[in-house]
A and B are shown apart, each in its own frame.
Chain A
């Protein structure tokens, strides 16, 4: 897995932020793992600001993937809600309570069997749950989400979700793995460089990197074409 250090040194050298008056010294600084503020020389974009921009870029890709229901990147950030009974408000954090839920919801599953429920019509689900005169005997597995509440025909469900908590730039351990797979590194780097502007510095370069970043983003998000149950159900609905 690629680390934050792998991304940061590529960002830093492109805005001439790494120390090294000679090629040998520059190489020494560039290959230092982990980089520290001592390896940085820019008075325009200091060490921590570059970490911030790197984390912004990573967050931007995560957000884009989170809003695409069948994107394979979701596997790196997946979590589940706590068990939800009929009519309960969908929480804003996962079952642990610490991680914020972002993006579109994934599969809705029976909390005891793990079976996936399909998206249904709220009035039908309400009738099935009311079951007047026990007219319905056959179990069904359907759910509907209206505003922030979930309604379903089983005892309780969990929702597969994407969670994301932005790492803190000040305390970031650069040898830690990034939150995405290796193929996201170029997108993170170019996305960060798109933000590397201060006053009139690096404006043209940022535009160029922004264009490349956009191509990477398009490529990365196009990978989310593998069909999944939730995606199919969205299309049906």
Chain B
């Protein structure tokens, strides 16, 4: 685990390799930090695109479900919901299956046998999470209300403080260093070239 400021410093130092020792790291810190959303997204997409690395991005999210719907956090990679697992922390015997298509998800036919033993979940509009209990019909006015747990690939999230550890696996951390420093280095080399011209 590395602290967030440690990660940003490492990105800056790596980006300036081979450059003048007079390169001011202090000036690069805010630049590297402002690149964080792009770095995070790129690392997340690359790792999620690899079947072997995807599981490294998985994080456990607690969803506050009201009448069968909840809002997903911004860091959730919704494109990889088929790799997610949903369960009720209050009843681990219940099982839930991912339904890609929202219309299929709300189809009352899936609430009867042979599917009635399974709950199901889907996402509408990229962020609105929907959940139906086993055997139940989707009803946005009287659905399940409670806390659910979703295990799903997520992009690395910027922590609340600079001295908080980044919540990523070490393999992903290496990707962050590499991609972050290359992004920053690209900016530096472009700047150097324009100054030389």
Contact = CB atoms under 8 A, between A and B. Distances in A.
B135 to A, nearest CB: 45
A141 B4 CA distance: 17
Interface in B21-62: 22, 24, 26-27, 29-30, 33-34
B9, B30, B158, B159, most chain A CB atoms within 10 A? B30
B167 to A, nearest CB: 15
A118 B22 CA distance: 11
A138 B27 contact: no
Interface residues of B, number: 16
Interface in A107-147: 117-121, 124, 127-128, 135-142
A142 B26 contact: yes
Contacts of A120: 24, 26-27
A233 to B, nearest CB: 8
A137 B162 contact: yes
A230 to B, nearest CB: 13
B161 A232 contact: no
Chief secondary structure at chain B's binding surface = helix
Contact of A118 (B4, B5, B27, B30): B27
A121 B30 CA distance: 12
A120 B24 CA distance: 9
Interface in B113-138: none
A142 B162 contact: no
B186 to A, nearest CB: 19
A235 interface: yes
B29 A138 contact: yes
Interface string A127-170: 11000000111111110000000000000000000000000000
B30 A124 contact: yes
Contacts of B27: 118, 120-121, 124, 140, 142
Contacts of A137: 4-5, 33, 158-159, 161-162
A236 interface: yes
B8 interface: yes
Nearest to A131: B30
A127 B9 CA distance: 19
A118 B158 contact: no
A233 B21 CA distance: 12
A236 B24 CA distance: 8
A142 B26 CA distance: 7
A174 B98 CA distance: 94
B22 A138 contact: no
B162 A139 contact: yes
Given A124-B30, A127-B30, A128-B30, A138 B162 contact: yes
A138 B26 contact: no
A139 B27 CA distance: 11
Contact of B8 (A118, A138, A235): A138
A137 B36 CA distance: 11
Interface string B78-90: 0000000000000
Contacts of B22: 232, 235-236
Contacts of B33: 135-138
A138 B28 CA distance: 11
Given A118-B24, A236-B24, A139 B30 contact: no
Nearest to B163: A137
23 contacts: A117-B26, A118-B26, A119-B24, A120-B24, A120-B27, A121-B27, A124-B27, A124-B30, A128-B30, A136-B30, A137-B5, A137-B33, A137-B158, A137-B159, A137-B161, A138-B4, A138-B5, A138-B9, A138-B30, A140-B30, A142-B27, A233-B24, A236-B24
Given A137-B5, A233-B24, 11 more contacts: A117-B26, A118-B27, A120-B24, A128-B30, A137-B4, A138-B4, A138-B9, A138-B30, A140-B27, A140-B29, A235-B22
The 3 A-B residue pairs with the shortest CB-CB distance, nearest first, are A137-B162, A138-B5, A138-B8
